[in-house]
Amino acid sequence: MLLITGPSGNVGYELVARLATAPPATGWRVASRRPADLDRRLGDSGAQAVRLDFFDRATWPSALAGVQTLFLLFPLPGNKAARTAIIPFVEAAQEAGCQHVVYVSVFGADRARFIPHHHVESALRSSTMASTVLRCSFFMQNLHRLISTHGVDIAENHELFIPAGNGRTTFIDARDAADVAATVLRDPGSHRDTVYHLTGPAALTMTEVAEVLSAGLGYRVRYSNPSLVRFASRLRRRGVGWDSIGFMSAVYTLTRLGGNQQITDEVAQLLGRPPRALAEFVEDSAWRWRDRAWT
């Protein structure tokens, strides 16, 4: 049995779409706080939709029953969530008999202890389960899916409001990350205890990102390069929690300091094709900013 978590997340959303059209040979289930919402997406793929709330341990046993392989996606990243929900869930998966975890992490998780993914990766290494860690660079989808931050700023203010200075980051399309995840899940034994670093084809400054957005959306998007204080203040006014603000601030600080500009060829090696460029993503997704279709 394969369990997919985070079906509404960047990678999880795309992964479920792929598995629904080409189901795995084993049984599989998809876990969500609102499993009824999955019915149309899963169709006749044979997947089970089950309820799972990482913050409600009563929902864990039925989701984990019989699971041998787990795709783990972090909801609302933050150190509190890692400590109180995700790491205990990893421990519960081991106790339930899970043998392999495919985990979506982030660049810098190996060295930056203030990033919550660092502690989840450590818990996986300490477990008896095998693991495959997909350390992904900044998702292109974050530019429209984070409705309390980047999506609304770009659509309504024509502004890229990210405190990353002049640092570069290697954007990756979540569709590519999902293709890698699907490849790993088809044969997890071949990727046992492996860490992959997944990036797009180029390291871009936020000024360059704004230029790509401007060309694809048909209006000028400016990069305002706010301070961390201004960034946090705007997000708090929109109701974003401190844990999420802290995580995003940490990631953008790493970018500002040059910690997110590494480019790898691992997507191409795993998929046999180059990763998608940001301009292709913006062309495919321009309607989302126009129609405010964030998912």
**Residue 37 covered by a domain:** yes
Q: Can you read off the two tokens belonging to residue 123?
A: 């818990």
**Residue 38 covered by a domain:** yes
DSSP 3-state assignment of 27? coil
Specify burial of residue 92 (Cβ count, 10 A radius: 0-12, 13-18, 19+): middle
**Residue 54 covered by a domain:** yes
Ramachandran bin of 139, using left for φ above 0, alpha for ψ from -120 to 50, beta for the remaining angles? beta
Domain that holds residue 22: 2-137+172-199+262-274
For the ranges 46-55, 237-246, 270-279, the lowest mean pLDDT is seen at: 237-246
What pLDDT score does 114 carry? 79
Strand-pair category, 222-223 with 159-160: parallel
**Residue 8 covered by a domain:** yes
**Residue 113 covered by a domain:** yes
pTM confidence score: 0.92
Please state the domain count of the chain. 1
**Residue 157 covered by a domain:** no
Helices and strands in the chain: count of H runs, count of E runs: 14, 11
Give the Cα separation of 256 and 265 in Å (integer). 23
Query: pLDDT by residue (tens digit) across 85-144?
Result: 999 999 999 999 999 999 999 888 888 787 889 999 999 999 999 999 999 999 999 998
- What string of DSSP letters covers 92-132? HHHHTT--EEEEEEETTTTT-TTSHHHHHHHHHHHSSSEEE
**Residue 78 covered by a domain:** yes
Query: pLDDT by residue (tens digit) across 8-33?
Result: 999 999 999 999 999 988 899 999 99
Give the Cα separation of 260 and 162 in Å (integer). 14
**Residue 22 covered by a domain:** yes
CATH of the domain at 116: 3.40.50.720
| 102 DSSP β-pair partners | 71, 132
